[in-house]
Structure 1
Amino acid sequence: MNKALRNPLIYGLFVLPAFVLFLAFFVYPILSAMNNSFTSWNGISKNITYIGFDNYLTAFQDAAFWKSVRNNVYFILFSCLIQVPLIVIFSLLIANVKRLKGLYKTAVFMPSIMSTAVIGILWGFIYNPDFGLANEILGVFGLPQVYWLSDKNWAMLSILITNAWQWTGFYIVMVLAAIISIPKELDEAAAIDGATGFQRATRITIPLVMPIISVVIMLSMAGAMKAADIVLVMTKGGPAGSTDVMATYMIRYAITSFRHGFGNSIAVLIFVFTIVLTALYQFFVARRTERIEY
């Protein structure tokens, strides 16, 4: 047995099935999309005409495309500047709960395992202008009624809040696990030295869990770039394309119009933008977050 395990061929045979699946379901689709992005193929015909970079030029010259890119940026900014701080705050609060900690962890995690369609419909009722909870709360304070999903000034913010509500719990569990793994002796020693709870959180706990917070930020950025389902369920990109993101732009202007080549060019752009964005974050920010050992 030991002699067999020393044979590199054995390891190759174990890796081969996963490698074949990787080539079939990751590498080949990417290469196929890149190839099709240079064509005017409608997705059905056997005749494929290569048109060079025309699809990319069409996208870059379309104001609606840049509006969808801007909305993806809104997703990223909302995730990094609002959602992540809330994740850290709630994680710290739950970590310091003495009783029913498991209940709180389950409660915050529940939305992330629910279907996006269910989430969208649920929040659609909350945003309903006539009987929705959001306008009922505004009415208590004497504020005017808001058409959350049909007013282009509010529709994007409404989707951002819904998306954050769905995925915040998932990231809280990740950060909470990192907080719980910190030896209690560090916190107890700081408390004995007279450090307040706020000081212990900001000077001990948060610096020690920065590696996992960095991962949460990167996952949030990647998730923001591929956001589509929540937009399709709640607004379908409306009103007037004000909530379109790159993925819904691809569906709206390419897939449903049988412009398969153009759709593949948008898919390639989403892939490239995501790779560039995460690479820049990894190079300038994440690499400076050292692994903490204690």
Structure 2
Amino acid sequence: MDTTVANLGQVTQTQMRRKRVLNKRVTVALFIAPALLVYLLYMVYPIIGTLQYSLYDWKGGPDKTFVGFNNYVKLFADSVFWSSLANNLKVVLASVFLQIPLGLLMALLLFAPIKGMRFFQTVYFMPFLMSTVAIGLLWVFMFDPLNGSVNRLIGLFGIENIAWLSESKTAMASILLVVVWQYAPFYMILFKAAIVGISEELYEAASIDGAGPWTRFSRITFPMLVPTIVTSSILAIVGSLKAFDIFYIMTGGGPSNSTELLGIYMYKQAFIHFNMGFASAVAFMMFLLAFLVAGIIQYLEYNRKKGAV
């Protein structure tokens, strides 16, 4: 009798535990459901739809003709696609090797014992707060070959006027300068937040051991900033692969496609030539490239952490 009661008690406790676990899972699912629904509706579904449209010869109307992967065959055979991809890679390199280091340097300067750092923090962040359209138009006027302030400045050193945005040799470099100037403050804020999170005890212990500023940076600050650098790199690369606005405003992809990016190439195919199916193939390739690059970086970072452990 006692054994039967004990067994019934164990069964009852097991059922209650299962019920609590089930209730917890249901509660978690209910909290996740709204965000998951938004993600599926506005992220996953458009990606699947883009892939579907890329398999059709579609001009934007009700008529569509299934062509399979013919749009991708045309895409890989198009020289403008490859030149646009090469220009995107230039933006990626400028973002990773100029934008992020500049953001880190700006963040470090905010912690320097210099008066007026709060003022400089505000000045540093202003470019990121400005409208991209306003920034593009501002720099178009500054790069004006006749009356632009940039040519007036270099004219003080005896250098002749340069058509910065009208020559293939200088157009890309000019826009990259603007991009680095605009987005470096964003990475400055990321690095500043990460630096604030580093314990002061580490720096105090290093100072007691006689470590100088460079040693403290290389042995403490930089290793602690690696996760932030990885996150910044992913954001920079993905943002560079889908860049569009500032380039379209300043040059429209010219001259001679020297600043043509995949985003501009896709826009022209969709809304100027009305090749919606072909433009969808370009869009899906942009997504695929960003997804693969982000996945590779995350995989390398995971292996680094695993090896460190």
TM-score (norm: length of structure 2): 0.87
Aligned residue type for 1:88: L
Matches within 5 A, 1:150-169: 150-169=166-185
- State the one-letter code of the partner of 2:47: I
SS state at 1:265 partner: helix
Given that 2:103 and 2:186 are in contact with CA atoms closer than 8 Å, whether structure 1 keeps it comes out as no
- Of 264, 284, 287, the residue aligned with 2:300 is 284
Over 3 Å counting, the alpha-carbon distance change for 1:187 and 1:11 in structure 2 is closer
Q: Which runs of structure 2 are paired with 1:2-81 in the superposition (5 Å)? A: 6-44=23-61, 46-81=62-97
Match of 1:127 in 2: 143
Which residue of the partner structure matches residue 212 of structure 2?
Answer: 196
**Which runs of structure 2 are paired with 1:71-220 in the superposition (5 Å)?**
71-220=87-236
Residues 127 and 134 of structure 1 are in contact (CA less than 8 Å); yes or no, is this contact kept in structure 2?
Answer: yes
Residue in structure 1 matched with residue 16 of structure 2 by the alignment? none
For residue 261 of structure 1, report the CA deviation from its aligned partner: 0.4
Q: Classify 1:102/1:287 alpha carbon distance in 2 versus 1 (closer, same or farther; 3 Å).
A: farther
Asked whether the 8 Å contact 1:72–1:245 carries over to 2, the reply is yes
Report if aligned partners of 1:255, 1:263 keep a CA contact under 8 Å in 2.
Answer: no
What is the SS of the residue equivalent to 1:49?
strand
1:100 CA drift (Å): 3.2
> Residue type of the partner of 1:183?
S
Deviations 1:154-178 (A, max 9, x none): 1011111111111100110110111
How many Å apart are 1:34 and its aligned residue? 0.5
Q: Is 1:230 matched up with 2:246?
A: yes
Distance between the aligned counterparts of 1:234 and 1:222, measured in 2? 21
**1:260-275, aligned counterparts within 5 Å?**
260-275=276-291
Quickly say closer, same or farther: Cα 1:77–1:17, change in 2 above 3 A: same
Structure 2 counterpart of 1:249: 265
Larger radius of gyration: 2
Q: Which amino acid aligns with 2:192?
A: L
Superimposed CA distance per residue, residues 127-180 of structure 1 (whole angstroms, 9 cap, x where no aligned partner): 111222221221122222211111110101111111111110011011011112
Whole-Å separation in 2 of the counterparts to 1:234 and 1:291: 45
- RMSD between aligned residues: 2.2
Segments of 4+ in structure 1 off by > 4 A? 289-292
Structure 1 partner of 2:5: none
Counterparts of 1:285 and 1:183 in 2: how far apart (Å)? 23
Go from structure 1 to structure 2 and tell me whether the alpha carbon gap of 1:4 and 1:277 turns closer, same or farther (over 3 Å shift).
closer
Cα distance in 1 for residues equivalent to 2:277 and 2:286: 14
Q: 1:159 to 1:107 in 2, by over 3 A?
A: same
* Structure ranking higher in helix proportion: 2
Structure 2 unaligned blocks of 5 or more: 1-19
The one-letter code matched in structure 2 to 1:19 is L
Structure 1 CA distance for aligned equivalents of residues 226 and 27 of structure 2: 39
Quick one: structure 1 residues 88 and 269, their matched pair in 2 at CA, closer, same or farther if it must change by over 3 Å? same
User: Which secondary structure state, in structure 1, belongs to the residue aligned with residue 205 of structure 2?
Assistant: helix
Could you tell me the percent identity over the aligned residues? 36
Amino acid at match of 1:8: R
Q: d(CA) in 2 for partners of 1:137 and 1:291? A: 51
**Alpha-carbon shift at residue 24 of structure 1 (Å):** 1.5
Distance 2:214 2:25 in 1: 54
Q: Higher mean Cα deviation, 132-141 or 166-175?
A: 132-141
- Given that 2:104 and 2:187 are in contact with CA atoms closer than 8 Å, whether structure 1 keeps it comes out as no
- The alpha-carbon deviation at position 233 of structure 1 amounts to 0.7
Moved more, 164-173 or 110-119: 110-119
| Deviation, structure 1 residue 107 | 1.9
Figure out how many residues of one structure are paired with residues of the other and give that number.
290
The 1:4/1:194 distance shift into structure 2, 3 A limit, reads: closer
Provide closer, same or farther for how the CA distance between residues 291 and 228 of structure 1 changes in structure 2, counting only shifts above 3 A: farther
Q: Structure 1 residues 30, 102: CA separation in 2 closer, same or farther (over 3 Å shift)?
A: same
